[in-house]
């Protein structure tokens, strides 16, 4: 088995310090807010997996269909060996059709999952080793908004994948900075594969965030369980209502938690008391939806040249391929 390199860019102490800073800043702001990444502890990841199986949640099924149906076309771009890096890889399930297509074409040189959870990165590498014998496997443990300079460069052409619609969780300025940082980390001729949720009927969009089984609501409230567990808070999650709103002016779903009654929450590890009025909200995340031309303009502004866009048959999810110019 080829040697597996693991690049550790972030330590547990760094994650704890970031958590404390984000929570103190967010819950003492007006309006209150928390970063979306706090949803994804072990329980949150399991809830998200359950969410993707709900009939209303089209995103995962549609993107998987796009990647499955177009993996050979994606793998046909460029020439020579390719090193693939997947940002926010998780279990590296989304990228597998592309890896398989590159391997079948004899072009898969290396694969690097990039994620914040060291244990998950190690597990993925162990799982993939038998599936891709002879392919160099490595992992990056870090924050892809801060550590893109750590992308491996062995001389092969690189394909950086960012799938699942996570790009839409960034604000406009954050998207611009991310694209600029990524472009600076790449060489001309490297490529970027981006999955994005496309603008469609708002009723279809909102249904995905208000599923009948209530899984999205429980996933949203999980952020309060995280604060209870990680920071000794005494939130009663059942006293907060899940809210998902559509802003047609910005093509954005706005996720919030709304207090059902007045209360004061103690966050012991921060020595902080947070008061809520009845009806007061915590903004817990956004999900921007894109028009194809708008997203391609953003890519060009960061010195990427859009090459292709594939969608599912209903035009719900788009997978964009762009070359670093």
Proportion of the chain in helix, strand, coil states, percent, rounded to 5: 40, 30, 30
Q: How confident is the model at residue 45 (pLDDT cuts 50, 70, 90)?
A: confident
Residue 3's pLDDT band (boundaries 50, 70, 90)? low
C-alpha 139/C-alpha 230 separation (Å) is 26
DSSP 65-109: HHHHHHHHHHHTSS-S-EEEEEET-TTS-TTHHHHHHHHHTT-EE
Q: Please tell me the predicted confidence (pLDDT) of residue 44.
A: 86
**What's the confidence (pLDDT) of residue 37?**
87
CA distances from 215 to 48, 195, 207, 244 (A): 8, 23, 12, 13
Task: Tell me how many helices (H) and strands (E) the chain has.
Answer: 9, 14
> How many C-alpha atoms does 250 have within 13 Å on its Cβ side?
14
Q: Would you state the pLDDT for residue 40?
A: 83
CB 84 within 8 A of CB 241: no
pLDDT category at 211 given cuts 50, 70, 90 is: very high
Pair 265, 235: CB distance under 8 Å = yes
Q: Work out the number of other CB atoms within 10 angstroms of the CB of residue 320.
A: 23
The mean pLDDT of 195-219, rounded to a whole number, is 97
Dump pLDDT digits (tens) for 144-189: 999 999 999 989 999 999 999 999 999 999 999 999 999 999 999 9
* pLDDT tens per residue across span 61-114: 999 999 999 999 999 999 999 999 999 998 999 999 999 999 999 999 999 999
pLDDT in tens, 11-40: 888 889 999 999 999 999 999 999 988 888
Residue 261, classed as helix, strand or coil, is coil
The pair of structure tokens assigned to 161 is 């994948």
pLDDT at 65: 97
Cis bond before residue 31 (omega within 30° of 0) = yes
Residue 1 pLDDT > 70: no
The confidence score (pLDDT) of residue 2 equals: 58
Q: Rounded to whole angstroms, what are the CA distances from 184 to 99, 125, 161, 216, 257?
A: 24, 27, 16, 36, 37
> Residue 240: its pLDDT value, please?
98
Tens digits of per-residue pLDDT, 241-287?
Answer: 999 999 999 999 999 999 999 999 999 999 999 999 999 999 999 99
Mean residue pLDDT across the chain: 95
Q: How confident is the model at residue 42 (pLDDT cuts 50, 70, 90)?
A: confident
What are residue 288's phi and psi, to 5 degrees?
-85, 140
> Does pTM top 0.85 for this prediction?
yes
pLDDT of residue 206: 97
- The token duo for 258 is 């709304």
Domains parsed from the chain with CATH numbers = 1-232+291-325 (3.40.50.150)
What the block records as the tokens of 187 is 């060489």
Residue 67 CA to residue 283 CA, distance in Å, equals 32
Pick from 156, 15, 34, 148: which is nearest to 88 by CA?
148
Between CA 147 and CA 157, with CA 152 as vertex, the angle to 5 degrees is 125
């Amino acid at each position: 088995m080829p040697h597996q390199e693991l690049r550790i860019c972030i330590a547990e102490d760094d994650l704890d310090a970031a958590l404390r800073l984000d929570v103190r800043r967010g819950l003492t702001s007006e309006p209150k807010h928390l970063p979306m990444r706090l949803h994804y502890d072990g329980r949150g990841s399991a809830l998200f997996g359950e969410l993707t199986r709900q009939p209303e949640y089209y995103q995962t099924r549609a993107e998987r269909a796009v990647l499955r149906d177009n993996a050979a076309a994606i793998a046909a771009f460029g020439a020579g060996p390719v090193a693939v890096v997947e940002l926010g890889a998780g279990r590296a399930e989304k990228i597998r059709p592309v890896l398989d297509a590159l391997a079948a074409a004899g072009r898969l040189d290396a694969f690097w999952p990039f994620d914040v959870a060291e244990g998950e990165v190690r597990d993925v590498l162990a799982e993939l080793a038998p599936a891709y014998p002879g392919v160099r496997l490595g992992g990056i443990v870090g924050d892809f908004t801060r550590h893109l300079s750590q992308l491996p460069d062995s001389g092969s052409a690189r394909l950086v994948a960012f799938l699942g619609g996570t790009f839409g969780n960034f604000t406009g300025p954050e998207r611009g900075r991310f694209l600029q940082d990524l472009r600076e980390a790449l060489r001309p001729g490297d490529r970027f594969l981006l999955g994005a949720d496309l603008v469609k009927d708002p009723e279809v969009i909102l249904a995905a965030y208000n599923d009948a089984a209530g899984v999205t609501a429980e996933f949203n409230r999980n952020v309060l369980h995280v604060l209870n567990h990680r920071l000794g808070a005494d939130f009663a999650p059942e006293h907060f209502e899940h809210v998902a709103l559509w802003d047609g002016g910005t093509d954005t779903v706005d996720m919030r938690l709304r207090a059902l009654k007045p209360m004061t929450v103690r966050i012991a590890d921060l020595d902080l008391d947070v008061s809520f009025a009845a009806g007061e909200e915590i903004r817990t995340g956004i999900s921007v939806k894109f028009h194809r031309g708008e997203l391609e303009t953003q890519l060009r502004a960061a010195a990427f040249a859009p090459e292709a866009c594939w969608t599912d048959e209903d035009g719900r999810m788009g997978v964009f391929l762009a070359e670093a110019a």
